[in-house]
Structure 1
Amino acid sequence: MALSASDIRSALSLPQSTPAPAHHRKTHPSTTKKPDGISRELYSLIGPSAPSLAAHLAKPRLRQKPNLGGGGTVKWEHRPFGNSARSDTLQLFHWVKLSDPIGDYPFAKYNVQPQSYTYSQDEYSRLLEDSEWTKEETDYLFSIVQEYDLRWYVIHDRYNFPDGPIRAIEDLKDRYYSVCRKLIRNRPCAGDESSRSQLLNSYQFDKEREKMRKNYVASLEDRTPEEIAEEEALFVELKRLEQNERKFRKERDDLLRTLLGADSGLPDIVVEEDGPAALSIEGIRKKKKGGPDFDLPPTPSNIIQLGPPVSKRPPPPKSAVYDAQHCIVRVDPPAGSSNTTKVTHVPAHLRSFKLPVPKATIAPKVAQALAELGITYSRLVMPTRDNCSQLESLLDATTALIETKKIVDRVEQDIRVLKARLGIRESESADRDPKESTPMDVDESKQDRDGEGEGRAQSVIRGRKQLCRSISVSSIDTSASLPTRTGTKRQKRG
């Protein structure tokens, strides 16, 4: 609190030096408070004349905070309670609100006891006898199951029948559930047949399957880190193969749709819902399982269904004139087809794509022959129908010419070889004496003395073998040189 000079003078009983000036308070214009629910910018625009709807636009109030310091309006009481789920007289206490009525323990309703089955001596002798179980052990099993409320791991831990074999938990469960199923089947049921079947299903137990499951879990727990890494790698590879298979199947379906003309837009082609996937083995199997299409062959005709065959009629004059004006050429189906099918359907394509391509073996020779004429067959400047047909005929003629030239060259080569062989035989018959022995019959003693004669005889034999093995001879005429050479190399008997 700030003190002024006049306050100090009055407290010390001192006279006032000058009269204290009167403080004039500034009067602020009266402003109305901004109502809740309206933003400041909106209120500055509309002014104090806010609509009555602003009262309904108030901010929503969040959840009330607990009143921890309010003095405790709720009274609590430490009250005893009884539990109907217990069979003893144990007395317990708990804190409850004073206003709550006194009643049974609310959690006693969750104590649901399983239905217990008992049997008589007559039922056991007629229905429940087993070579591996006695009646005393079966009674002991049912008593311990009822004691521990079907908690099988506790039952197996506490199971100790005197002078009895060691039982696995699967043996105990199998014996108990089999006895219960037999009793349910042979006793009258209060409900209908569906309730009995439902009750039987609740007591189903497969002993072998349970053992297999546990063995599988044990094998998973016993895996080494190397085996785990290998399984993960195989799993990744399997996923990759499945992804590739889905990709290949999609590409195959797209290719089949393109080949069958499904996307050509023709009104006569009707594709089934299965689409091209029906051509696969899975689609065929599905069709066979369906029933109506069992006897149909798995051919593409089952997939693409065309309309009724259209009779061939000559085009009307108006259509022919229209086609001539717009350069439209209509392709007739191949001869020999009784009706129009997808095989005869020709989808839209560029004319230049149908140009013939020569064989790869003679393509360079065709290109060389046409290059000598100044023609390039790989590209047409104006691929009209007439130009394409002329180019096709030119390629056919060039291919036939090259094939004929190859045959002619082969025949001329054979003629030259035969002439060379004929000239050799004629020279041999002219130079050979009637009493002369064969060229191979050479005196060994003379050959030893004359080494030059032996070399000449061997050269004659090698020359004959080379002539027999040769399949191509050069263009040089050898008919004149060979006889003279062989004549000079001949060895006569001395």
Structure 2
Amino acid sequence: MTSHDVRDMLDLPGEAAPRPIKKAKLTGPRPVLKGLAREVQNLGGDNPIAIVPETTTFKKKRFGSRKPAAKWENQSFRNSAREDETLVLKHWRRKAESPAVAPGDEGTAAPNEVKLEDSTFAKYNVKVITAEYNDEQYQKHLLSEDWSRDETDYLVSMVRDYDMRWPVIWDRYEYQPPAITLDPQAAELAIVTASKPRTLEDLKARYYSVAATMMKVHKAPETMVAAEYELMEKMASFNPQQEAQRKLFAEAAFQRTREEAREEESLLIELKRILARSEKLSEERRELYARLDAPASTGNIGVFTTSQGLQQLLQQLMQADKTKKRKSLMGPDGTSPAGPSGLNQQASFDRRDSTVRGESISGPSGTNNKKGPSQGQTERRQLSAEEEILYGVRHFDRITSSGPAFRAERINKPITSKSSIQQQKMLSVLTELGIPHRLIMPTYAVGEAFDHLLTNINLLLEQRKVTEKIQSEINTILAIKKQKEEEAESKQILRQPEAVSGSGDVKVEEVEREKSAAPSINGRKRSASVMSAVSESTKRQKK
């Protein structure tokens, strides 16, 4: 059935009318009017609202400032980075307004006095600071049998010119010793000595020794900062033989073949295995020695004869084993290795553990697959006695119970712990010695010396106190002795027979006269016992 049959059945004309043409949709963007809300714009539908926005901006004026154009002039300048001082260059610069000259100062201005400015690029001419010395310093510190003064100056100038680039210095190094002329009039008879061939290490060693020596001369090592002291130590400890061997080793490592590199890598892996095995053996040896040197147990072992006591002992050993980095006493399945099966399991676990440990360090680069590259224990550099004094490093056997304290408290403690009278005496001694009561720079050495001085001052005051006490006792004993001697003399006078006739009243008057003539001894009054003894003797004489 065709389309004509269908049209005939439906009473439609034989030919179909052409299809109507579709209207093209406008897909262009809708104009966006600024200043209107979105709802207001949607009210227009397809026909936009004919509203023209007001423009408030205008074209700016081209010459808004109306200032005159800047004036330029061709100025002259110098470049301090160049060695030629007579070189004068020119460039264009904005002309500066000349300052107004006050009336009456026209004659004071110096004519033809123009100061040329320096180039802005001269600051980038940075030069290396080299060692400097004079004749006296060279004769005192830098004399060498292998290097002359002229060649040393030539080396220092080469280092300064080529900014310490040693390969360039060694390539340009062409020192010619000066000619030795015996006859000044015959120049052709001059003796020219041959120059010595210098290697790069020789040049470095000579310059580093000169620079380190002059650093010590110009500045004491105690006053240097850490960077200066480290630089001086590096230059002073430079070893040319070791530097040459290092270069030879690096050159040989660079020229090795692939097979040699693989062999060296396998040797390094084997070396790591040997070191790991030796560490394990040394640890086991130390543990064995510790067990052998352990003191004999004096406790009762009766508690471990039962199964419960053995289980408790095993738990104690397991707890102690956890604190140490050793293999566990238990097997991998949690059973005790006491029986035959436990021994076999323990042996198999040890073999597996050693295999895994060997595989972990047998990689191509000797790294651990789980934890990355192994990090060895860093070695600390041991400081010498001079370095410990320089950096203020001190070692303490033990920390005191009081803990750390300030140095000022320790210095003032010998004074503050005394009484006020003792403090005044100690301060007076310090004033007499010309030492301030409060230290200006209380360093460790100054504090130790001040503490020692205060200890000696305290000891001196104690000795003076004891001396005064002993001297007072000596004076008292001497006074008593003299008093007793006088009493003995008076008794001896009373016991003598009467040499001159007279009554007893005359003798009594003589005794009273003697008593009044010597009332005191060394400025002290007689005691009551002495006076009573004299009175009793006179009474017996009267009887």
TM bracket (short chain):
0.3 to 0.5
Q: TM-score, normalised by structure 2?
A: 0.31
Name the structure, 1 or 2, with higher relative contact order (CA <8 Å, separation 6+).
1
Q: TM-score, normalised by structure 1?
A: 0.34
